[in-house]
Amino acid sequence: MSEDNITTEENTEEAEAETTEAEAEPTELPDDHPLVKTLAKQRAELKELKKNYNKASKELSEARLASLTDQERLVEDAKTETAKQIRMEFAEKLVEAELKSALNGRVLNGDAVLQFDKATFVDDNGDIDSESIATWVDAHSTQAEAPKPDLGQGARGSTKSQAQIRSRDELANMSPDEILKARKEGRLDTLMGKL
């Protein structure tokens, strides 16, 4: 009876291990698998539906514009032009934001910022090409080295041979002339909050 319990426990542990491995690694299905074929078919249908929707939407807009009077058409044209100008104005600001985001941790090379033209990254509809901005940043910048942290060790100020005065207790043992000299040498910078 104890052997049956041990065998059952081992089988349970193996089944759990197989289940965990199956969950951890997604399986690649062959191209001729029914699920892969169904997914490809649905993607093709979705693409066709989007194409038909865009075509129908455009035809509807044209039909609606054709039924407008001259005055209404002028109003619609003015609205469309104003909306386009607003999109273009804000698109350039968004390009600047994308550039700053892409430059995070990077430094531009030389005069590369002078070569950066915001308008080249905005299409006619006012949409931004983020991938092109990232590619431009990669081509015109280098990875910035992280500054070495100041651990507060060693000499400070312009006089490297003398240490900084860090507390008022050290000033108590000095004469006024010594304090002025230490201040001119930059040894009081830490105490005065300059470092």
164-179 pLDDT per residue, tens: 888 888 888 889 999 8
- SS3 of the chain: CHHHHHHHHHHHHHHHHHHHHHHHCCCCCCCCCHHHHHHHHHHHHHHHHHHHHHHHHHHHHHHHHHCCCHHHHHHHHHHHHHHHHHHHHHHHHHHHHHHHHHCCCEEECCCHHHHCCHHHHECCCCCECHHHHHHHHHHHEEECCCCCCCCCCCCCCCCCCCCCCCCHHHHHCCCHHHHHHHHHHCCCCCCCCCC
pLDDT of residue 53: 95
28-42 pLDDT per residue, tens: 888 888 888 899 999
Average pLDDT over residues 173-192: 86
Average pLDDT taken over every residue of the chain: 80
